[in-house]
């Protein structure tokens, strides 16, 4: 069989790597891929929002099914577009992808189906939001752009004054363009965050080992938010009783909601959960695999990913058993110095050949004249597996320390706070 993966980050490298191991897959294609992906898949440089060209490619190459990594094409309706052309594809329809592409939609969905989440209010113009904040008081507030903002559209504000600034940035200054033309303001909930990912065929689901992301740029969760600087799975915080709670109180209700709303969802759903006083609250939904959670979770998967995808496409997910390694995975992201702000690229990445007992998933990387060069903010992820979390941490750090490039930055405390 032939599979096409859409995307070009570390997440997509790990998805390509997993499919490349599948006994059913003869050839992996990736659009648009990166320097690392090109070592295991045939990459093509097509704009991932150009659905006509993507569908023509899938037809010409006789792709058996397509797997979509990032949220943008999903929110633009790539699944509907492919299905109308009888092309098999893994991902939610455009309507279902609103669970990620509209915060207002997802909060309303949670309210409708009794899924615990922070109290919130929606606003469609700046003045209403500013008037509302006049009575907010001195407590923390979370201001979120309704639309997709590359993970940057959430501001945690210390008080109403900061929240007003956030409202003005989003709605008046339009720093996120149209994505910030509607916003929500919600109560701040404190606690530990967990990433629960499920495979779903729309009828049933299968939970993956819960992961934890590290969103801040620096150790001890200091500095700016990023796309994610590291992850590990399974997170020890996600003990059996908590997983059961999340399943009963959140996942089963989501499934009821998908059915009641007739949402066509065949893919991966990411549920960002925060634990407050022993109770799980949903922070956000993402309609795809997480990055860098995927780089930690997929290496733990024992079952053939192709079998899972075929079962999803046939709505027979309940008929297969999905097995996971009884190990821990730790993923550490190496970023360009300066990220998530301005950074330079084009530096040679050295030492990749010295990585012996870990996986390297490339993201902002390009191959040029036989060299591997940095080409983005998050450059690569090193993932190591071991029987205990400390072993996985040690192995991940031993291996990432072999890799060098100018101004390389990575956190030294991934997974450490729980050991």
Query: What burial letters (b/e) apply to 186-202, b meaning 16+ CB within 10 Å?
Result: beebeeebbbbbbbbbb
Please tell me whether the peptide bond between 32 and the residue prior to it is cis, using omega within 30 degrees of 0: yes
Q: Is the CA virtual torsion 301, 48, 285, 141 positive or negative? A: positive
Angle formed at CA 27 by CA 204 and CA 303, multiple of 5 degrees = 35
Q: Does 225 bind ligand GLY (CB under 6 A)?
A: no
- Tell me the C-alpha distance between 246 and 250, whole Å: 5
Q: Is the CA virtual torsion 214, 215, 217, 220 positive or negative? A: negative
Which CB sits closer to ligand GLY, 286 or 381? 286
Residue 379 makes CB contacts below 8 A (sequence gap 6+) with: 333, 334, 335, 336, 349, 362, 363, 364, 365, 405, 408
Angle formed at CA 294 by CA 290 and CA 298, multiple of 5 degrees = 150
**Interaction residues for ligand GLY, span 317-336 (CB under 6 A):** none
Minimum distance of ligand GLY from residue 152's CB (angstroms): 11
Q: Does 122 bind ligand GLY (CB under 6 A)?
A: no
Which CB sits closer to ligand GLY, 126 or 148? 148
Which CB sits closer to ligand GLY, 64 or 293? 293
Report whether 183 contacts 133 (CB < 8 A). Answer: no
Minimum distance of ligand GLY from residue 10's CB (angstroms): 10
**Interaction residues for ligand GLY, span 61-80 (CB under 6 A):** none
Number of residues that bind ligand GLY (CB under 6 A): 7
Minimum distance of ligand GLY from residue 306's CB (angstroms): 23
Minimum distance of ligand GLY from residue 227's CB (angstroms): 7
Q: Does 201 bind ligand GLY (CB under 6 A)?
A: no
Minimum distance of ligand GLY from residue 45's CB (angstroms): 24
Q: Binding marks (x or -) toward ligand GLY, 373..392, rule CB under 6 A?
A: --------------------
Which CB sits closer to ligand GLY, 106 or 160? 106
Which CB sits closer to ligand GLY, 227 or 304? 227
Q: Does 228 bind ligand GLY (CB under 6 A)?
A: yes
Report whether 153 contacts 170 (CB < 8 A). Answer: yes
Q: Does 186 bind ligand GLY (CB under 6 A)?
A: no
Which CB sits closer to ligand GLY, 35 or 69? 69
Minimum distance of ligand GLY from residue 151's CB (angstroms): 6
**Interaction residues for ligand GLY, span 141-160 (CB under 6 A):** 151
**Interaction residues for ligand GLY, span 274-313 (CB under 6 A):** 286, 290-291, 293
Minimum distance of ligand GLY from residue 27's CB (angstroms): 27
Closest residue to ligand GLY in the complex (CB): 290
Minimum distance of ligand GLY from residue 11's CB (angstroms): 7
Which CB sits closer to ligand GLY, 123 or 155? 155
Q: Does 8 bind ligand GLY (CB under 6 A)?
A: no
Report whether 12 contacts 37 (CB < 8 A). Answer: yes
- Specify the pairing of strand 2-7 against strand 27-32: parallel
Which CB sits closer to ligand GLY, 151 or 391? 151
Minimum distance of ligand GLY from residue 288's CB (angstroms): 8
Exactly one of 12, 64, 80, 213 binds ligand GLY (CB under 6 A); which one?
A: 213
Binding residues for ligand GLY (CB under 6 A)? 151, 213, 228, 286, 290-291, 293
């Amino acid at each position: 069989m032939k599979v096409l993966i859409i995307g070009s980050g570390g997440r997509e490298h790990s998805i390509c790597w997993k499919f490349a191991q599948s006994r059913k897959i003869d050839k992996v294609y990736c659009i648009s891929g990166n320097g690392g992906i090109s070592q295991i898949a045939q990459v093509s440089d097509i704009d991932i929002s150009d659905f006509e060209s993507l569908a023509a490619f899938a037809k010409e190459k006789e792709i058996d099914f397509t797997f979509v990594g990032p949220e943008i094409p999903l929110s633009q309706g790539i699944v509907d577009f492919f299905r109308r052309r009888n092309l098999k594809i893994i991902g939610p329809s455009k309507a279902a992808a609103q669970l990620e592409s509209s915060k207002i939609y997802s909060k309303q969905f949670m309210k409708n189906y009794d899924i615990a989440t922070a109290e919130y209010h929606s606003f469609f113009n700046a003045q209403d939001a500013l008037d509302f904040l006049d009575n907010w008081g001195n407590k923390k507030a979370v201001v979120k752009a309704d639309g997709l903002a590359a993970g940057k559209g959430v501001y945690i504000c210390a008080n109403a004054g900061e929240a007003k600034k956030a409202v003005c940035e989003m709605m008046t200054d339009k720093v996120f363009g149209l994505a910030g033309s509607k916003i929500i303001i919600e109560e701040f909930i404190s606690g530990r965050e967990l990433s629960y990912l499920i495979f779903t065929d729309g009828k049933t689901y299968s939970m993956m080992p819960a992961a934890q992301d590290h969103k801040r740029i620096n150790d001890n969760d200091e500095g700016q938010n990023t796309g994610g600087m590291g992850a590990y799975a399974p997170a020890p915080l996600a003990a059996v009783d908590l997983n059961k709670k999340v399943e009963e109180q959140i996942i089963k209700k989501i499934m009821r909601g998908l059915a009641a709303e007739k949402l066509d969802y065949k893919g991966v759903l990411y549920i960002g959960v925060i634990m407050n006083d022993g109770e799980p609250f949903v922070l956000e939904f993402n309609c795809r695999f997480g990055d860098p959670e995927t780089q930690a979770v997929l290496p733990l998967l024992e079952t053939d990913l192709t079998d899972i995808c075929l079962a999803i496409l046939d709505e027979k997910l309940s008929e297969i058993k999905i097995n996971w390694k009884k190990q821990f995975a730790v993923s550490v992201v190496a970023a360009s110095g300066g990220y998530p702000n301005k950074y330079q690229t084009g530096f040679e990445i050295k030492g990749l050949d010295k990585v012996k007992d870990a996986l390297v998933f490339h993201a902002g990387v390009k191959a040029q004249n036989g060299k591997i060069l940095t080409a983005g903010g998050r450059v690569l992820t090193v993932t190591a597996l071991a029987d205990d979390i400390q072993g996985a941490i040690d192995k991940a750090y031993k291996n990432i320390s072999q890799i060098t490039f100018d101004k390389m930055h990575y956190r030294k405390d991934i997974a450490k706070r729980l050991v």
